A and B are shown apart, each in its own frame.
Chain A
């Protein structure tokens, strides 16, 4: 159990550092911002209690906000993502039970499962994020476009990270 906490805490710090020190300084065409920190929320163990899920997502979002000076947009989006995670899990798990010890990752549940799981959550997260950033429904098409393009990029990064670091044993 302690092991799980430590590895998640380390992942928190590593992803936060990559996010604010590297990714937040990359500009691609004015539309694309990858957000790798969502991987932390994606990879929290299945048995994480609800309150802990929400609080850890919130603190991750708030930390990113503090570095970016964006108030609470990342906190809001990350909390929202953690809130819908259990529902998304229920939605796509119909064929297979989540056994204890199983972790949300490609190596445990396969590519197809991970694809739908992370893409749905990333899209939901990015949509709220960009909506709050503009803080109005003006330029709504623009917001949607940014959501789709940035989600694709974040998803790609999440996949790369999965194949680089989370091979089973």
Chain B
């Protein structure tokens, strides 16, 4: 017994080191499973409040940019109002309710925590379970796709940013509709890659890439980025396309969370195929 205590005492520095490292690693691993703990740690009551007041101050600095973005969006929405259209077919408007069913709903939210400097980046927003946010909902701004909700607490939710190893966005080339997969591969936060576009497709630098709508997360047509460059290796059948990401992840204040009201219906259709 004495010897054991002696041993413990002699190596107390090392043992304490091992203990503290073990605690840290457990925290890392638990966090890497990115389930609840991201929200719990990033938005625990104390740090959450400090972050929020920080964001409140910092949001003033991007007011100009935010205003421009809102103006642009207002203009876009105005163009979709009924009075912006020439009423060509009178019957159409009267049948609107029974012809069109709401599929997507949108919830505005403020970003209270956003990283862009890591290999795997997250966004925390100030809307959570109480506001109807659920796992796997899409997040975007008026500029384009931002991320996918990963975990939700009562008042906050955290999303995997597009700048995350595990995020792939099913997207298509707006001009001709060919579908591929968009993914960020580290490094520059404004460049990503699109793959799985077959080699016979006609591509042009500057083509817009939008979401395909196949994923049950985003509606079709939300901007992802624009083609900057592409190459087709000799013995390969698919392009490797360099994309300039539409969203500037270094300044982001207001986002929308999109909910697909028919998600469950689609999932029911999909499930038997998977089995």
Contacts and interface: CB of A to CB of B under 8 A. Distances in A.
Interface string B26-48: 11111110000110011110010
Output the residue of B31, B116, B120 with the most chain A CB within 10 A: B31
Contact of B21 (A25, A31, A76, A135): A76
Interface in A56-70: 58, 61-62, 65-70
Given A27-B250, A50-B13, A133-B120, A72 B28 contact: yes
A67 B47 CA distance: 6
Interface of B: 12-13, 16-17, 20-21, 23-32, 37-38, 41-44, 47, 50-51, 54, 58, 113, 115-120, 122, 124, 158, 186-189, 250
Interface residues of A, number: 39
Contacts of A89: none
Contact of A72 (B23, B43, B54): B23
Given A69-B113, A133-B118, A134-B119, A54 B17 contact: yes
Given A26-B117, A27-B189, A72-B27, 19 more contacts: A28-B117, A50-B16, A51-B12, A54-B16, A62-B24, A69-B41, A69-B43, A69-B122, A70-B28, A71-B27, A71-B30, A71-B31, A72-B31, A76-B28, A79-B24, A83-B17, A134-B120, A139-B119, A139-B186
B17 A79 contact: yes
Nearest to A66: B47
B41 A66 contact: yes
B42 A72 contact: no
Contacts of B32: 71, 135
Nearest to B31: A71
A23 to B, nearest CB: 10
A67 B124 CA distance: 12
26 contacts: A26-B117, A27-B189, A28-B117, A30-B189, A33-B117, A54-B13, A54-B16, A66-B44, A67-B47, A68-B115, A69-B41, A69-B124, A71-B27, A71-B30, A72-B27, A73-B24, A75-B23, A76-B24, A76-B25, A79-B17, A79-B24, A80-B21, A132-B28, A135-B28, A135-B32, A142-B119
Nearest to A150: B117
A21 interface: yes
A100 interface: no
B187 A31 contact: yes
Contact of B117 (A27, A55, A135): A27
A101 interface: no
A31 B124 CA distance: 22
A70 B31 contact: yes
